[in-house]
């Protein structure tokens, strides 16, 4: 650090020219000290920000006034020198060869500040920008002053596996206002494993069998709604459907959006909230400032109040209903200690938010791709009709045999992963110094935020080829050996690397709700295609992929579809 500080001091000295007065030098040094303090301790408190960036320069100005009759000019002069020096120090250091991430390529503006990607995140197209950066710079890209984005499948297991690193600052900022930290943001491996035990029991095969009737009732309701309305925004109906299902699972009910619509504005709040969460994910310190604004947390407080009321109502029902609440609250008595009610509420809230957004996105994308490819839809319908002819009761008994159904679902997950920009990790100190923090040719110093970009992995021709950006479910059947590679495609051109397929993340912190999500995707798809004919509205320009916004979860645009009864 000494060499880099000397380097910066010399450059700033040249910027100001030959310093003939002694007065500016203490201000310059104070700016360098503030930079060093932020660099080492990364303070998040607004109070510390205010002291170091406002009070400290004012104190320096007072010391340097030398009996001047007016404070305004010395204060203005000091602030100008201080901020010019501070900004110059930050920019020059982050772009200098002394920075520990200097060898990794990336946009200059991204290296200087996270403000650049915060702007892209606010606009919603960061998943596209990340992919473009990987195309330009390669598998490792510096996307922030201390942040790396990867698109190399070989680092998935080391980064996200059992020996991987803890959650990054992106997660910590989102958890600030919560009374307890959500499972998805828990950083400590031991605490995460302990908290996840109830979730694991709640998504076991035996538990999933209990949930089937809950999901089935909502799927039947959705199918009947589509049949009655004829023309709908299918993405919005899928959102309401998924929200109702997740409330049934987490709180034993309490939501009827599929029937009534978004009367309380809850879903609109979720969608607008995701935009804010994306912004503070890039700028974690900003969340503490937002919380200082009167009324800024009212919507979150109201959501938690609603969850609290639903949790109380569900608890009064007792243990007869084996929904997810049954397991998350440990009504079966498997845990040694009683689970705090705050954690139960927080976990239930996480179930609703995480399970609704992701299911809606994947279902909507699946039906978009099927409608864009009528021959694939016809092939899937043929398989569904074979297992579920007219009059056949909806159930999961044939799902394991339906290879083309799973191929279509996997292909939708590949093209439109619900969480396209991955799950951020922070490099911590390695307990074994001999190993360091090196994966292959990549070395990341402690404190570096690292993510694997799922969207890029899934759309990389080195991992999936041919038709990398196209909906081609057959690739999954060919890879399984249940279908021959067409003669028109040379064998050398077929690439199918499932190690690069991580739509539910990877490792001990992956999506624990994957089994339920797959059940919902299968059952909903089978029911709709079994009972209804469907097509796009004539006016629809098929802008689905262009309308997708990355707000951590992919947020969707409209999907206008016309339905008619088959029977």
52: DSSP letter? I
Domain span at 371: 183-565
pLDDT of residue 374: 98
How many domains are contained in the chain? 2
pLDDT of residue 15: 46
Residue 188: inside a domain, yes or no?
Answer: yes
Of 95, 124, 140, the domain-final residue? 95
Render pLDDT for 433-470 as a digit per residue (tens, 0 to 9). 544 477 767 888 888 999 999 999 999 999 999 999 99
The response to whether 408 counts as a known ligand-binding position is: no
**Would you say 477 and 403 are in contact if contact means Cβ atoms under 8 Å apart?**
yes
Peptide bond into 236 cis (omega under 30): no
549 vs 354: CA distance, rounded Å: 16
283 vs 242: CA distance, rounded Å: 30
The answer to whether residues 188 and 90 belong to one domain is no
Q: Is 237 left (phi over 0), alpha (psi -120 to 50) or beta?
A: alpha
pLDDT of residue 76: 86
Of 95, 125, 140, the domain-final residue? 95
Does the predicted TM-score (pTM) go above 0.75? yes
Of 95, 110, 136, the domain-final residue? 95
Residue 153: inside a domain, yes or no?
Answer: no
The answer to whether residues 91 and 196 belong to one domain is no
From the CB of residue 97, how many other CB atoms can be counted at a distance below 10 Å?
Answer: 8
Residue 170: inside a domain, yes or no?
Answer: no
CB-count exposure of residue 198 (10 Å: 0-12, 13-18, 19+)? buried
The answer to whether residues 292 and 394 belong to one domain is yes
- The mean of the pLDDT values for the chain is 89
The answer to whether residues 88 and 197 belong to one domain is no
User: Which residue(s) pair with 562 in the sheet?
Assistant: 231, 535
**Would you say 470 and 160 are in contact if contact means Cβ atoms under 8 Å apart?**
no
Task: Single out the residue of 248, 244, 223 nearest to residue 234, CA to CA.
Answer: 223
Render pLDDT for 210-228 as a digit per residue (tens, 0 to 9). 999 999 999 999 999 999 9
199: DSSP letter? H
Residue 329: inside a domain, yes or no?
Answer: yes
pLDDT of residue 307: 86
For 431-482, give the DSSP string: S-TTTTTEETTEE--TT-EEEE-HHHHHT-TTTEESSTTS--THHHHHHHTS
337 vs 325: CA distance, rounded Å: 17
Q: What's the chain's length in residues?
A: 567
List the chain residues with pLDDT less than 70: 1-23, 61-70, 173-179, 429-436, 440
The answer to whether residues 540 and 401 belong to one domain is yes
Residue 110: inside a domain, yes or no?
Answer: no
User: Which residue(s) pair with 147 in the sheet?
Assistant: 144, 449
Question: For position 533, which CATH number holds?
Answer: 1.10.630.10
């Amino acid at each position: 650090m000494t060499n880099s500080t000397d380097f910066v001091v010399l450059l700033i000295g040249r910027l100001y020219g030959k310093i003939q007065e002694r007065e500016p030098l203490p201000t310059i040094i104070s700016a360098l000290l503030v930079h060093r303090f932020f660099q080492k301790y990364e303070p998040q408190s607004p109070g510390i920000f205010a002291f170091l960036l406002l009070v400290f320069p004012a104190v320096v100005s007072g010391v340097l006034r030398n009996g001047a009759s007016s404070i305004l000019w010395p204060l203005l002069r000091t602030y100008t020198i201080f901020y010019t020096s501070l900004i110059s120090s930050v920019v020059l250091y982050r772009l200098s060869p002394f920075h520990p991430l200097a060898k990794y390529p990336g946009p200059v503006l991204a290296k200087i500040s996270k403000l650049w990607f915060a702007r892209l995140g606010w606009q919603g197209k960061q998943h596209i920008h990340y992919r473009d950066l990987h195309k330009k710079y390669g598998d490792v890209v510096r996307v922030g002053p201390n942040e790396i984005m990867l698109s190399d499948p070989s680092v998935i297991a080391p980064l996200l596996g059992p020996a991987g690193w803890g959650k990054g600052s992106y997660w910590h900022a989102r958890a600030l206002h919560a009374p307890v930290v959500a499972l998805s943001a828990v950083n400590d491996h031991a605490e995460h494993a302990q908290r996840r035990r109830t979730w694991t029991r709640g998504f076991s095969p035996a538990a999933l069998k209990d949930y089937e009737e809950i999901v089935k009732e909502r799927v039947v309701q959705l199918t009947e709604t589509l049949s009655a309305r004829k023309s709908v925004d299918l993405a919005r109906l899928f959102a309401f459907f998924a929200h109702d299902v997740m409330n049934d699972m987490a709180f034993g009910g309490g939501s009827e959006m599929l029937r009534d619509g978004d009367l309380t504005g809850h879903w609109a709040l979720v969608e607008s909230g995701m935009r804010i969460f994306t912004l503070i994910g890039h700028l974690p310190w900003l969340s503490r400032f937002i919380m200082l604004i009167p009324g800024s947390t009212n919507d979150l407080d109201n959501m938690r109040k609603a969850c609290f009321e639903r949790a109380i109502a569900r608890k009064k029902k007792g243990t007869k209903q084996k929904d997810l609440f049954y397991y998350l609250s440990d009504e079966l008595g498997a845990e040694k200690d009683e689970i705090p009610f705050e954690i139960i509420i927080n976990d239930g809230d996480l179930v609703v938010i995480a399970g609704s957004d992701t299911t809606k996105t994947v279902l909507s994308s699946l039906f978009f791709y099927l409608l864009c490819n009528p021959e694939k839809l016809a092939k899937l319908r043929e398989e569904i009709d074979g297992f579920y002819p007219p009059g056949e009761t909806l159930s999961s008994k044939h799902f394991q045999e339906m290879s083309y159904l799973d191929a279509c679902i996997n292909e939708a997950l590949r093209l439109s992963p619900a969480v396209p920009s991955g799950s951020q990790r922070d490099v911590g100190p390695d307990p074994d110094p001999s190993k360091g923090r090196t994966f292959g040719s990549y070395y990341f110093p402690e404190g570096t935020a690292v993510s694997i970009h799922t969207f890029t992995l899934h759309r990389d021709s080195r991992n999936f080829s041919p038709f990398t950006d196209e909906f081609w479910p057959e690739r999954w059947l060919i890879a399984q050996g249940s279908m021959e590679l067409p003669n028109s495609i040379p064998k050398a051109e077929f690439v199918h690397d499932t190690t690069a397929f991580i739509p539910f993340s990877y490792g001990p912190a992956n999506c624990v709700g994957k089994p339920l999500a797959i059940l919902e995707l299968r059952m909903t798809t089978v029911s709709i295609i079994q009972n209804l004919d469907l097509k796009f509205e004539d006016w629809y320009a098929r802008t689905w992929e262009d309308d997708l916004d990355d707000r951590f979860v992919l947020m969707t645009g409209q999907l206008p579809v016309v339905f008619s009864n088959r029977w």
